[in-house]
Amino acid sequence: MISHMPPGLIMILAAFLLPVIPHVWRQIYMLGAIALSAYGLFLGAGTHLVWTVLGLDLILYQADALSLPFAIIFHLAAVLNVIYSWHDRDWQQHCASLSYAGAAIAALHAGDLVSLFVWWEATAVTSVFLILASGTERARKAAMRYLLFQVTSGVLLLAGAAILASTSGDIRFTKMDLGDAATWLIFIAFGIKAAFPFLNGWLQDAYPEATPTGTVALSAFTTKLAIYALARGFPGTDILIWIGAAMTALPVFFAVIENDLRRVLAFSLNNQLGFMVVAVGIGTELALNGAVAHAFVHIIYKALLFMSMGAVLHQVGTIKASELGGLYKKMPFTMVCCIIGAMSISAFPLFSGFVAKSLTMSALGDAGIVWAYFVLLFASAGVLEHSGIKIPYFAFFAHDSKIETGEAPIGMRVAMGIAAFLCVGIGVFPSLLYSILPYAVDYHPYDAGHVTSQMQLLIFAMLAFVVLVRLKLYPPEIPSVVLNSDWFYRRLAPMVGLPLLRMVMLVWSGLLHQMRGLVDAIWDMLDRIMHSPLAGPTVSGRAVLIQAGLLALLLLIAYAAAG
Amino acid sequence: MSTPSSKSPSDLQRLGGIFTKVLLGIAIILFGLEFFIHRHGVVSAEESFMFPALYGFLAFLFIVQVGKWLRLMIMRKEDYYD
C-alpha cells in the first residue's frame, strides 16, 4: 500500500503529527517518514498510480531514469536537514521542512502537468514558513515577496496546462517544443523557480532571510525541482544555453561585493543553476547526464556551504563578512567542512563538483558551442572567487574579529560531516554517481590533460587572489546592500507606480464627487416635485414617488407591448 | 582557555604565508607538467602554453575589478530597503 503511494506524500502526511511528538523522538520519527518514502522508490520505473478526475488522467506516481537520481538526492537532503536541525525544538519549522521536502519529492513523480502544479504550489506554501520562522519584519516581507513569485510560477504552470487540456486534451508531462502560448507559460513558470535572469530576485532576497536550518532546506529543493522540470520538459531547447550562460556569469559579479555570506551563497546557487540550465539546453545524453550529476552533487555541497554558514550564524549571531573573521581556531571542524564544500563547488579534482561539471563542459565541447564553453570556464573562475575563496576566507580567516565562540551543536556537525564525506566520496569514486544517471556513462574525468587544465585554472586564479590581497587591492567588505533584480519591484515599481496610483485615485475621487453632486441634484429635483406638484395631491415621500414613477413606466411598457 | 588576542593576527599572517608558498609550489609543478602533458582543448588556442592558468588568473582579476566598479553603481546602505 505504502509503496504505491507517490513518494513524498507519506512525508507530508507524517508532518501533520509532528506537533504532538516530543522533541528528539520527533527527529527519529521524521527520519522514519523519509525512510518510508524512500522505500516507495523500490517500485522501480513505470506508472504506478493514476487517478481519473473530471475526465483527466492524473498520473500521481510515475518513475523513470530521470526522476530517480533527483528522488535519491532529495531524500538524502531531507535526511541531512533532519540531522542538521536536531537541536531545534521549533516544531513549526520541522513541519514546514518535512512537508516541503515531501512536496518536492512528490512533484518529481507527477506524470502530468496538473499533478505537477499541485506539488509545485505545495513546495511554495510549505517552504515559506521556513522564511517566516525567522520572526523578523524583514523576513516577513521577504517571505511575502517569495510567496508572490512562487505562486505566480504555479499560476502560469496551471494556465499552460489548462490551455493544453482544452486544445489537445493531453496534459502528460513530457518533452515540449517551445512555440505556442501554453508551452511559453510553462517555460516561464519553470524559469521563475529556476531563477532565470531578472526572474531571480526572490532567491537572493528570501533565502538569506530564513533561519539557519531553513536556508539549508530551501537551498536543496525548489530550484533543483525546476531543473528537473526543465530537463523533462525542455531538453535541447537552444535558448536555455543563452539563459544558462547568463546565469553562470552575471551573479559572479554581484557575489564579489555582497557582504552577507549567505546571500553570497544565494548568488552562487544562481550561478550553479546556470551550469545545469546550459546542460539542459544542449540536450545531448552526455549533457543531460551532466545536468543531473551537477544537480546531485550541487545539492550536497551547497547544503554543506549553507550548513557551515548556518553554523556560524547560529553560534555568532551574524553572517556579515564585515563582522566575521578569524574563526578557524574557534570552529575548526566547521572550517574544514566549509573548505571541503568550497573545494567541491570550485570543482577541484577529487571533489564532487569536478566529476559533475566535467560532463557539462565536455558536452559543450562536443557540441562545438565554443562561446558558451568559454563563458562557463570564466564562470568557473567566478565560482572559485566567491564560493571557493570568499566564503571560507572572510568567515574563518581574513582578520581576527575577536569573536569568542565554539563549535555548533552536535547535530549540525554530524550533518556537515556526512555532507563533506559525500563530497569527497563522490569525487574519488565518480562511478557511484555515474551509475544512477539517466543515460549509460562511458566517461572518465580523471585524465591527465583534463586534471592539469582544471588545476591550472584554479591555482592561478587563487594566485590572483593572493596577489590582490598582498597588494591590498582586494575589495574590503563593507556593510551594505547590493541591488539585484528585486530592485525593480521593490523600488522602481513603487517609484513609478505610486504616483500613477495617486493620480488614478485623484481622478476617481473627483469622479465620485461629481456623481455625488449628480445624485444630490436628482434628489433635490424629486423633493421639488414632491412639495410643489404640477397637479394632484402632495406626495408623502421619495419612495412613493419612485414607486409611482416605476408603475407609470410599467404601464407604458404594457401599453407598448399590447400595441 | 582563549589564546592571547595579540597572537592571533600573526598566526593569520603565518597561515597566509604558508598558503602562498603551497600555492606557488603547486603552480611551479603545474608549470613543469605543462612540458610533459598534452592538454586537450575545445579550440586550438586552449592548447597553447599555460592557457588555463592565464585564463583563470585574468578572469579572477577581471571579476574583482568589475565588482569594484559595480559597487559604485549598485551598492547602497544597509537600511536602503527598510
> Where a domain ends, among A423, A446, A473?
A473
Residue at A515 is within a domain:
yes
Residue at A482 is within a domain:
no
Backbone angles phi, psi at A67, to 5 degrees: -75, -30
Chain B residues with CB under 8 Å of A339 CB are none
Is the pLDDT score of B1 beyond 50? Answer: no
If asked whether residues A495 and A462 sit together in one domain, one would say no
Q: Provide the pLDDT for residue A539.
A: 64
A161-217 pLDDT per residue, tens: 999 999 988 899 999 999 899 999 999 999 999 999 999 999 999 999 999 999 999
If asked whether residues B32 and B47 sit together in one domain, one would say no
Question: Across chain A, what does the average pLDDT equal?
Answer: 93
Is the pLDDT score of A340 beyond 60? Answer: yes
> Could you give the percent of chain A with pLDDT greater than 90?
80
> Where a domain ends, among A182, A202, A234?
A234
Contact (CB, 8 A) for A245 and A281: no
Lowest-confidence region among A1-5, A121-125, A252-256, A496-500: A1-5
Q: What single-letter amino acid sits at A379?
A: A
Q: Provide the pLDDT for residue B2.
A: 41
If asked whether residues A382 and A507 sit together in one domain, one would say no
Q: Provide the pLDDT for residue A442.
A: 85
- Which of B22, B40, B43, B60 would you mutate first to test chain A, the one with the most A CBs within 10 A? B60
Is the pLDDT score of A555 beyond 60? Answer: yes
If asked whether residues B46 and B80 sit together in one domain, one would say yes
If asked whether residues A228 and A317 sit together in one domain, one would say no
A47 forms beta bridges with: A62
If asked whether residues B46 and B22 sit together in one domain, one would say no
Which residue would you say has higher pLDDT here, A177 or A562?
A177
Nearest alpha-carbon partner for B75 in A259, A69, A125, A201: A259
Pairing of the two strands A56-63 and A481-482: unpaired
If asked whether residues A145 and A202 sit together in one domain, one would say yes
Contact (CB, 8 A) for B43 and A371: no
- pLDDT band for A232, please (50, 70, 90 cuts): very high
Chain A residues with CB under 8 Å of B77 CB are 480-481
Residue at A326 is within a domain:
yes
A129 forms beta bridges with: none
Calculate the alpha carbon distances from A433 to A258, A349, A418 in Å: 33, 15, 16
> Where a domain ends, among A234, A250, A283?
A234
Lowest-confidence region among A139-148, A277-286, A328-337, A518-527: A518-527
If asked whether residues A13 and A153 sit together in one domain, one would say yes
Residue at A286 is within a domain:
yes
If asked whether residues B22 and B48 sit together in one domain, one would say no
Question: Would you tell me which residues 8-67 of chain B have a C-beta closer than 8 angstroms to some C-beta of chain A?
Answer: 8-9, 11-12, 15-16, 19-20, 23-24, 26-27, 30, 33-34, 37-40, 42-43, 46, 50-61, 63-64, 66-67
Lowest-confidence region among A269-283, A335-349, B39-53: B39-53
Instruction: Please state, in angstroms and rounded to a whole number, the distance separating the CA atoms of residues A183 and A164.
Output: 8
Q: Average pLDDT for residues B6-20, to the nearest whole number? A: 78
The partner residue sitting opposite B23, judged by closest CB among A368, A377, A463, is: A463
| Beta carbons of B9 and A450 less than 8 Å apart | no
* Interface pTM, i.e. ipTM: 0.90
Backbone angles phi, psi at A112, to 5 degrees: -135, 165
Whether the CA torsion A265, A268, A274, A275 is positive or negative: it is: negative
Residues contacting A77, CB < 8 A, separation 6+: A101, A217, A220, A221, A299, A300, A303
Closest-approach residue (CA) in chain A for B52: A457
Lowest-confidence region among A126-135, A291-300, A439-448, A457-466: A439-448
If asked whether residues A452 and A324 sit together in one domain, one would say yes
* Interface size between A and B, measured as CB pairs under 8 A: 157
If asked whether residues A459 and A514 sit together in one domain, one would say no
- pLDDT band for A225, please (50, 70, 90 cuts): very high
Residue at A483 is within a domain:
no
Is the pLDDT score of A379 beyond 60? Answer: yes
Domain count, chain B: 2
> Could you give the percent of chain A with pLDDT greater than 70?
98
Q: Find where cell 562511478 sits.
A: A431
Tell me the angle at which helices A261-282 and A285-316 cross, rounded to the nearest 10 degrees: 170
Question: Would you tell me which residues 304-363 of chain A have a C-beta closer than 8 angstroms to some C-beta of chain B?
Answer: 326, 328-329
Which residue would you say has higher pLDDT here, B3 or A380?
A380
Is the pLDDT score of A541 beyond 80? Answer: no
Q: Provide the pLDDT for residue B6.
A: 46
Residue at A506 is within a domain:
yes
Is the pLDDT score of A310 beyond 80? Answer: yes
Q: Average pLDDT for residues A456-473, to the nearest whole number? A: 94
- pLDDT band for A531, please (50, 70, 90 cuts): confident
Q: Provide the pLDDT for residue A138.
A: 92
Nearest alpha-carbon partner for B26 in B6, B5, B4, B56: B56
Closest-approach residue (CA) in chain A for B50: A456
Q: Provide the pLDDT for residue A296.
A: 97
Domain count, chain A: 3
Q: What is the least distance, in Å, from the CA of B25 to any CA of chain A?
A: 10
Instruction: Please state, in angstroms and rounded to a whole number, the distance separating the CA atoms of residues A32 and A78.
Output: 11
| Domain membership of residue B16 as a residue range | 1-37
If asked whether residues A98 and A55 sit together in one domain, one would say yes
CA A28 to mean position of chain CA atoms: 27
Residue at A484 is within a domain:
no
If asked whether residues B28 and B10 sit together in one domain, one would say yes
If asked whether residues A243 and A341 sit together in one domain, one would say yes
If asked whether residues B50 and B76 sit together in one domain, one would say yes
If asked whether residues B47 and B33 sit together in one domain, one would say no
A198-230: buried (b, 16+ CB within 10 Å) or exposed (e) per residue?
ebbbbbbbbbbbbbbbbbbbbbbbbbbbbbbbb
If asked whether residues B49 and B63 sit together in one domain, one would say yes
Q: Provide the pLDDT for residue A235.
A: 96
Contact (CB, 8 A) for A356 and A290: yes
| Beta carbons of B12 and A326 less than 8 Å apart | yes
Q: Average pLDDT for residues A383-391, to the nearest whole number? A: 93
- pLDDT band for A130, please (50, 70, 90 cuts): very high
Closest-approach residue (CA) in chain A for B4: A402
Q: Average pLDDT for residues A403-422, to the nearest whole number? A: 95
| Beta carbons of A460 and B57 less than 8 Å apart | yes
If asked whether residues B64 and B81 sit together in one domain, one would say yes
If asked whether residues B49 and B28 sit together in one domain, one would say no
Q: Provide the pLDDT for residue B9.
A: 56
A489-514: buried (b, 16+ CB within 10 Å) or exposed (e) per residue?
bbeeeeeeeeeeeeeeeeeeeeeeee
If asked whether residues B33 and B48 sit together in one domain, one would say no
Extract the C-alpha cell encoding A543.
Answer: 419612495
| Domain membership of residue A510 as a residue range | 489-562
- pLDDT band for A113, please (50, 70, 90 cuts): very high
If asked whether residues A83 and A196 sit together in one domain, one would say yes
If asked whether residues B23 and B49 sit together in one domain, one would say no
Is the pLDDT score of A533 beyond 70? Answer: no
Chain A residues with CB under 8 Å of B64 CB are 256, 385, 464, 468, 473-475
If asked whether residues A211 and A325 sit together in one domain, one would say no
Q: Provide the pLDDT for residue A45.
A: 87
Q: Average pLDDT for residues A329-337, to the nearest whole number? A: 95
The partner residue sitting opposite A459, judged by closest CB among B26, B42, B54, is: B26
If asked whether residues A461 and A526 sit together in one domain, one would say no
Sequence-distant contacts of A23-28: CB under 8 A, at least 24 apart: A23/A89, A24/A86, A26/A91, A26/A94, A27/A82, A27/A83, A27/A85, A27/A86, A27/A94
Q: What is the least distance, in Å, from the CA of B21 to any CA of chain A?
A: 10
How close are the terminal C-alpha atoms of chain B, in Å?
Answer: 41
